[in-house]
Amino acid sequence: MAGTDEAADDDALFVLTAQLLTPARFPSVLGDDYPAACAALGLRPYDAGYGLVLGQDGAGARWTVVIDDVSLVAVAIASWDCGMEYDLSPSDRSVVAALPGWPLAVATAAPGVPAPHDPDEEEAGGPPLAPPDTSRWGPAQRRLGADEVALQWAVWREQVDEQITFAQPDAPEEERATPHEGVRRVLKELHGYVDDAPPPGRVRSSFASDGARMLRADGPGWSLVARTDDIALVLLDEEPGEVLPVGRGPELPGLLESLDRMAVRPS
């Protein structure tokens, strides 16, 4: 394989997994929005997005091949999710860059080659990519936590059912129904997103049951998960491991509808 400024050589890549890197769907562990995730990989935030193919070369070295054939990666992921085999073999013309290392944790390894390891920096043309540190609570762990809440919404919704408060960040101090300053800050920043659109991917909308939409939003120090027909759940950097529920009340429904209208959606 070659570095980011060179084309990949003839070494075979044993594909282990793949990810989409688009405004509507990107590994949130890499950043709060699509441009931030691209910057983590040294890529320009191309509107159509990229596909990330993670694998090993014949010597076992870790490589991330960036391609512009987003549809190919989307089909591969959909096939694998359905338990079907799919031979993901990008054409040379679709390769944008071959980056040493993996930006995400990969639990599997290619059979018949040495154990996964980073390629030599001189050979690779630069330092290898490495997954963000998620061993301690921080932005990466917080965003991963929000992703998990979105995937397991029904479970989390049941757990917080008796803890719901109703946040009204613009109400007078004596009328505020929630004492948590962090939640009020998040809601104010979300109103700011409606007034002044944030970077692409900062607010994302996806399908949910019963005609609703699932919203994921991120900002400096916080993440939000919400259903447009239900409550919102907030995670904060300053509250390690905590999931703070926000009831619908008079404010939240309109805010969620406005966010859904301006959010990016999977094509």
Per-residue pLDDT tens for 3-41?
Answer: 333 334 447 899 999 999 999 999 999 999 999 999 999
Share of the chain above pLDDT 90, in %: 80
Identify the pLDDT of residue 163: 59
Identify the pLDDT of residue 177: 53
What would the mean pLDDT of 131-144 be, rounded to a whole number? 94
pLDDT band at 180 (very low <50, low <70, confident <90, very high): confident
Highest mean pLDDT among 27-41, 154-168, 237-251: 27-41
Total-model pTM: 0.87
3-state helix, strand, coil in the chain (%, to 5): 30, 20, 50
Highest mean pLDDT among 116-130, 149-163, 169-183: 116-130
Average pLDDT, the chain: 90
Name the residue among 215, 193, 195 with its Cα closest to residue 204.
215
Cα–Cα dist 33/29, whole Å: 10
Inter-residue contact 102 to 108 (CB < 8 Å): no
3 state SS of 128:
coil
